[in-house]
Structure 1
Amino acid sequence: MSIDTISTSTGSVTGQPVPEGRTHWSGTADDAELAHWDAVATEVAAKLAVDVLERDRANLDPTTELDLLRESGLVNLLDPAEFGGGGGHWESAFRVVRILSRVDASIGQLLAYHYINAGNIGFTADPATQAEWHRKTVQGRWIWGDSVNPTDPDLSLTQDGDAFRLNGLKRFSTGASAGDVILVNAVVRGGDHDGTIFQFVLDHDRAGITYLGDWDALGQRLSASGSVRFEDVLVEQTDILGTVGDEPFSSLVTPGIQLAFGNLYLGIAEGALAQGTELVRARKNAWFLSHAETYRDDPFVQRVVGEFVSSIAAVEALADRTNARFDRIIERGADVTAEDRGAIAIEIAKLKVVSTELGIEVANRIFEVTGSSSAKASVGLDLFWRNVRTHSLHDPVDYKKLEVGANHLNGELQPISLYT
């Protein structure tokens, strides 16, 4: 099926500015759309699987992998069809992240961040400029990295005539070194806009940007998440998307990335189980104390696998429900209330809790049924655990448990931030 034949209910813009208060996203994904993007993602995942271990060990920026995402059309899934994009929905995008993460969670992470970063065209940009941003993104097949990590001191912008100069250092800048453009948040120091946080987009090779190449983590090694230094980088008015605040609709970007994480961890669990299942089925004989003839027939092995299959099915159901609910909130645009935003954030936090624990448990305990030979470096079963253990430290899952508990007991919501 080609992209042109997909039947969707998207209400994307038609080359004209999006009316104030509306968003180009509307409706939800139908079965044909979901099936199409699932198939595209499955094909890409199969290609990534061929040399995933070699690429992980090489620990290089994933330029070839990103070309694969461009060529498949996945990078433009969420862009309006009127500009040549896929015209798809967030549910489709989150499922794609999950499918890729079954094989290569680094690339799943990169694509997840790209979707959220480029999604700021709809969340943050002036409606009058959105069409042009979409055109440039689709025509250039841009992959959007970012440099917005809130745990570092804010980058600073200083006035320079009608433009600004950007200075500072940001760690954990996922996709910045490998992508085409970088989404940046920075606070203005002095002048008429003192204290305002602008969100803007810089091309990869803008003068004054240095990629430090210092990402050296246990897992997610190809996520291009190193530090970036900005030294007197020129930021033009035309680079600016908008301002960052706590308005309910635009701040849905944070629950959005948390929902992507939930799908990523679920994908890792599914991938670990899939490879583990192959290894168990290939094992000969059984443990000498077992009454079974093969490991696959051993009741202890079946019990562990049964736990995993059942838990994955439950988390998958929650993820699918939450992915679809996110689209229904998104289509409301400026009509989204603080209560709406809080309700979907709690649903996503629930998924974050159970998917984190599922991913870590399956990736860890799968070795119990695959045996000592599966610990060989050449097997690569450790990749799933290294990836989920690394990325699940992005923000403490215990605080997500507190969010859910405080809401259930007292109706409380956490303050809006880049983590909640």
Structure 2
Amino acid sequence: MTIVDNEVELQAARSPWNGHASPEELDHWSRTAEDVAAALAADVLERDRRNVDPHAEVELLRRSGLLNLIIPAEWGGRGGHWESALHAVRILARTDASIAQILAYHYANLGAVVFYGSAEVQERLFRRSAQAGWSWGDSVNPVDPSLELVPDGNGYRLEGIKHFSTGASVGNAILVNAVISAGEDQGKFLALAVDHDRAGIEYLGNWDALGQRLSASGSVKYRGVQITSEDIIGEVGEEPFSTLVTPYIQLAFGNLYLGIAQGALARGREITLGRRNSWFLSSAETYAQDPLTQRVYGELDSRIAAVEALADRINRRFDGVIAAGGQLTAEARAEHAIEIARLKVVSSEVGVDTANRIFEVTGSSSAKSAVGLDLFWRNIRTHSLHDPVDYKKVEVGANYLLGEVQPISLYT
């Protein structure tokens, strides 16, 4: 099987997304996400403790229409914008950050169909995905040894193991990145769309982290998995438009962390207002009336509001960036990536700080397991380690001082 170089086609590619979300669209998907979050809230702690793959939760996403949000209407989707998708991720993260993560990665994997695939591939996969309400997981972790595509007749055999394959075990389709190991196309790095139940795929179920326990991020082993031309999305390269998957996922992280902070603050407020006494040295009647308590809430609320304003601005701008398609320049891509890196820095720190300090104003009883306030801290502490925030600070600082831009990768 010969892989055609699609660099020229990608440079001329048109984006299937254009314009911006209307207030009506944003309101619709916000209310949809809030309804899903309310359903998830009913047993969020119990599900977190059970730590099993969230098949029922993904079905809830499917029934809500959120899985089809960004698929263009012409191909059977809901025709929504990325701003709406990112806001939905944020809303879900206020209640259940694990399911918010699965949804965020699902959108990234749908985006990859456009970033790497031809117009024909996009239409074929989007129509199938929209009709069946597919959930997309992935096996693309770039710090893992690459999966191999071994030439086999008219196709390939997929071999190897990928750790941190978010959503793969509960998805209908898996986005897989793999390198051709031999033949005339040796060394080419391909993106594949592989169905969940393909023979030779084994889901190891070994995700057992402190937080994000229901994000279905376990390892996947591939042994002799047959790959045909129908499974190939396209070649992974460095053309600016095709690399927007990284700025998007970092932007999704910023919204995820913001949502966790908002959820922790709201849960803390609920606990504080329920306390009917005050510290014995305080002159206030209740903890909520104590100026020291009010000071902490005032600081955290103000910092969260600042992060929210930044996230809202960048979310809206992303729709304009992605609409450029193959006309997107490296300079415009880099400028947007730096904006998103700034959000990653402040959302990470505000998220961790809020989820930590909220215990200071809710008292020792809030540390009880049944209260569940720890869920926010465990989730933000786990996911904020995805890639070192210090390197994002360096990325922003080097650009500010010297105009430097980091080399394109699946982390920058």
Q: TM-score range by the shorter chain?
A: over 0.9
1:11 corresponds in structure 2 to none
- Number of matched residues? 404
Cα distance in structure 1, aligned partners of 2:261 and 2:160: 37
**Does 1:226 pair with 2:218?**
yes
How far 1:129 moved relative to its partner?
2.2
Q: After superposition, where does 1:144-293 map in structure 2 within 5 Å?
A: 144-293=136-285
What CA deviation, in whole Å up to 9, does each residue of 1:322-352 have, x standing for no partner? 0011111000000000001100000000000
1:349 corresponds in structure 2 to 341
Give the AA of the match of 2:242.
S
Give the AA of the match of 2:146.
D
Contact kept? 2:148, 2:181, Cα under 8 Å: yes
Match of 1:374 among 349, 362, 366: 366
**Does 1:416 pair with 2:394?**
no
Cα distance in structure 2, aligned partners of 1:140 and 1:162: 29
Q: After superposition, where does 1:65-104 map in structure 2 within 5 Å?
A: 65-104=57-96
* Runs of 4+ more than 6 Å apart: none
**Does 1:119 pair with 2:121?**
no
Give the AA of the match of 1:278.
E
Contact kept? 2:11, 2:326, Cα under 8 Å: no
Contact kept? 1:85, 1:138, Cα under 8 Å: yes
Contact kept? 2:90, 2:255, Cα under 8 Å: yes
SS in structure 2 opposite 1:419? Answer: coil
1:14 corresponds in structure 2 to none
Cα distance in structure 2, aligned partners of 1:198 and 1:73: 29
Cα distance in structure 1, aligned partners of 2:121 and 2:133: 18
**Does 1:406 pair with 2:398?**
yes
Show structure 1 runs of 5+ residues with no match. Answer: 1-16
Cα distance in structure 2, aligned partners of 1:19 and 1:332: 11
What CA deviation, in whole Å up to 9, does each residue of 1:247-289 have, x standing for no partner? 1001010010000000000000000000000000000111011
Contact kept? 2:12, 2:327, Cα under 8 Å: no
SS in structure 2 opposite 1:184? Answer: strand
Cα distance in structure 2, aligned partners of 1:370 and 1:84: 48
How far 1:83 moved relative to its partner?
2.7
Give the AA of the match of 2:312.
D
Match of 1:55 among 47, 51, 58: 47
Contact kept? 2:11, 2:239, Cα under 8 Å: no
SS in structure 1 opposite 2:240? Answer: coil
SS in structure 2 opposite 1:286? Answer: coil
SS in structure 1 opposite 2:137? Answer: strand
1:302 corresponds in structure 2 to 294
Give the AA of the match of 1:195.
G
SS in structure 2 opposite 1:231? Answer: strand
Contact kept? 2:10, 2:242, Cα under 8 Å: no
Cα distance in structure 2, aligned partners of 1:303 and 1:149: 42
The alignment's TM-score, normalised by the length of structure 2, stands at: 0.97
Cα distance in structure 2, aligned partners of 1:114 and 1:179: 9
The alignment's TM-score, normalised by the length of structure 1, stands at: 0.95
Percent identity of equivalent pairs:
64
Show structure 2 runs of 5+ residues with no match. Answer: 1-8
SS in structure 1 opposite 2:305? Answer: helix
Cα distance in structure 2, aligned partners of 1:346 and 1:138: 33
How far 1:21 moved relative to its partner?
2.1
Give the AA of the match of 2:24.
A
Cα distance in structure 1, aligned partners of 2:265 and 2:120: 47
SS in structure 2 opposite 1:390? Answer: helix
Change (3 A) 1:407 1:85: same
